Structure 1
Amino acid sequence: METIKTLNKWANVNTALPIDMLRIGLGVFLFIKGINFMTSSQILVDLLTPFQNWGGSMLILHYVAPALFIGGLLIIFGLLTRWASLAQIPILIGAIAINFFGEIHLLDLAIATITLFISLFFLIYGSGKNSADYYFKKQQ
């Protein structure tokens, strides 16, 4: 817990607008992906065809779209950013795995990998100064 507090203090002192813009951009990207999967669930079903014989594919189908949608909103506002980023990690690892078990699409693989690294960054860094987390912490 001390490590998280130390990292949070460092993030609040060294925050910059470009990092906040990166957080908002990540949130918008995840939000749009969530909407995309909600409006056309057949895309998600087609993506999961390499895993159709594995157990829990329906669970995955019902987890991915809402987690992207809600997690994207939380990341945009900087509310529970670490938790929202943590919820994205299994989805992004699955997106990378789909490229190796199914047909490899280099662009999708690159986007999933970059998004995974950005999510890992915000899992460690937190939401920064221009966020709802920081605002609520100052109100206490």
Structure 2
Amino acid sequence: MNVIRKIEHWGDVHQSKWLDFLRIILGLVIFGKGVSFISDTSTLQNLITQNNVFGFSSMLISVAIHVVAFAHLVGGILIILGLVTRFAVVIQIPILLFAVFFVNLTRGFSMPNSELWLSILVLFMLILFWVVGSGPLSVDEGLKNKRGKRYD
């Protein structure tokens, strides 16, 4: 636990305002993917069923799609606001790892496979914000200044 605290402290000390704009864009992308999942579940279900590595039933896949969509919607809003950012990011990382290695990687590294490149970029940005935290332009920072302690 001591190493994680040191990483969080380093991230809190070395945060700049331009990273907040990057955090907001990341939150918008994740929120947008959540909306996309909700609006077109049949296409996503077909894609996952075709790449069904673990042999799950279609009902379980459907439930997983709705859980992922909910996690993206809520996590995207939390990341945009900068509210419990590290928690929201940690919830998103396993979803993106699954997307990169089990869904998008099966289509290859070709340039037209933009979903793979987007998933890799978002995964790296999630790891970045797990380290650096929410930043000075966030609800977390406002709460910290108001009450004298941090909630992420």
TM-score interval for Structure 1 and Structure 2 normalised by the shorter chain = 0.7 to 0.9
Q: Give, in whole Å, the separation in 1 of the partners of 2:8 and 2:93.
A: 20
Matches within 5 A, 1:28-39: 28-39=28-39
Partner of residue 26, structure 1: 26
- How many correspondences in the alignment? 139
**Aligned residue among 43, 67, 72 for 2:71:** 67
Matches within 5 A, 1:85-96: 85-96=89-100
Contact 1:31 1:73 in 2 (8 A): yes
Q: Give, in whole Å, the separation in 1 of the partners of 2:130 and 2:15.
A: 15
Contact 1:74 1:84 in 2 (8 A): yes
Matches within 5 A, 1:39-78: 39-49=39-49, 50-51=51-52, 53-54=55-56, 56-78=60-82
* One-letter amino acid of the counterpart of residue 116, structure 1: L
Q: Give, in whole Å, the separation in 2 of the partners of 1:68 and 1:14.
A: 27
Contact 1:27 1:73 in 2 (8 A): yes
In the TM superposition, what is the alpha-carbon distance from 1:10 to its structure 2 partner?
A: 3.6
Pair 1:5–1:100, CA change in 2 (3 A): closer
Q: Name whichever of 17-26 and 58-67 sits farther off.
A: 58-67
Contact 2:15 2:132 in 1 (8 A): no
Partner of residue 120, structure 1: 127
* One-letter amino acid of the counterpart of residue 121, structure 1: L
In the TM superposition, what is the alpha-carbon distance from 1:46 to its structure 2 partner?
A: 2.1
Contact 1:20 1:130 in 2 (8 A): yes
In the TM superposition, what is the alpha-carbon distance from 1:124 to its structure 2 partner?
A: 1.6
TM-score, L = length of structure 2: 0.80
Q: Give, in whole Å, the separation in 2 of the partners of 1:61 and 1:16.
A: 35
Q: Name whichever of 40-49 and 26-35 sits farther off.
A: 40-49
Q: Give, in whole Å, the separation in 2 of the partners of 1:92 and 1:86.
A: 10
* One-letter amino acid of the counterpart of residue 106, structure 1: N
In the TM superposition, what is the alpha-carbon distance from 1:85 to its structure 2 partner?
A: 0.5
TM-score, L = length of structure 1: 0.86
After the TM superposition, which segments of 4 or more aligned residues of structure 1 sit over 6 Å from their partners?
A: none
Contact 1:26 1:76 in 2 (8 A): yes
**Aligned residue among 109, 113, 120 for 2:116:** 109
Partner of residue 11, structure 2: 11
Contact 1:12 1:129 in 2 (8 A): no
Q: Give, in whole Å, the separation in 2 of the partners of 1:124 and 1:14.
A: 10
